[in-house]
Every structure is written in structure tokens, then in C-alpha cells.
Amino acid sequence: MEEATTRQRIVDALREAPATPRELSKRLGVPTDVVYDHVRHVAKSLDNADEQLLVAPPTCKDCGFSGFDDPLAAPSRCPECKCERLTEPELVIESA
């Protein structure tokens, strides 16, 4: 039996429960930046399926800003207050 690809393992994990890229990184044993790359591809591949990738964007822990341009990015600081204390985006796959 073939072992599942990293992308398939990410999809399977996100079908089970919401997770942040860091949580997926730890669970799957791959770097966080690799998770971000794979998640972008997963989002595109699910466009034609009966499922969709939902993303709760990062949020600034100081001012609450959550209007980041790319919710699938790991911003380094808040554009509003310049704080570096940000939550990670939370990802989940749900049926459409």
C-alpha cells in the first residue's frame, strides 16, 4: 500500500478538525513554510470538489486587526499597530 502524500495527509487532518499551520507542521513532521505551500495547492485543488478550504485569518493580539491581504500567509507584524504578536490562521476543510 502506498503512503499518502504530504498534501493528502494535510487534507485528511483538516477534514478531521481545524488546525493551524504550526499544528499541522508538528503533526506531519514537515516545516511550517512547507505546510503553507501545500495548503495553497490544496485550496486550488478543492475548488472543483464538493469541499472547500475555510481560513480564519491571523489576528493581532494587541489591536484585533484581522484584515490581512493574504490569510494564507504568515505575517510578521500587524499593519495597524506594528505589533508582532499575531495568531496563526486556522484552517479547516468542510463540505460545500
Interatomic CA distance for residues 89 and 14, integer angstroms: 13
In the predicted model, is pLDDT for residue 1 greater than 60? no
Q: Residue 85: in which H helix or E strand, if any?
A: none
Query: What structural domains and CATH numbers belong to the chain?
Result: 6-95 (1.10.10)
pLDDT value for 27: 95
**Block residue for cell numbers 485528511:** 12
Interatomic CA distance for residues 45 and 41, integer angstroms: 6
The average confidence (pLDDT) of the chain is 91
Interatomic CA distance for residues 33 and 87, integer angstroms: 16
- Are the C-beta atoms of residues 57 and 95 closer than 8 Å to each other? no
In the predicted model, is pLDDT for residue 95 greater than 90? no
In the predicted model, is pLDDT for residue 37 greater than 50? yes
- Residues 32-49 have a mean pLDDT of 87
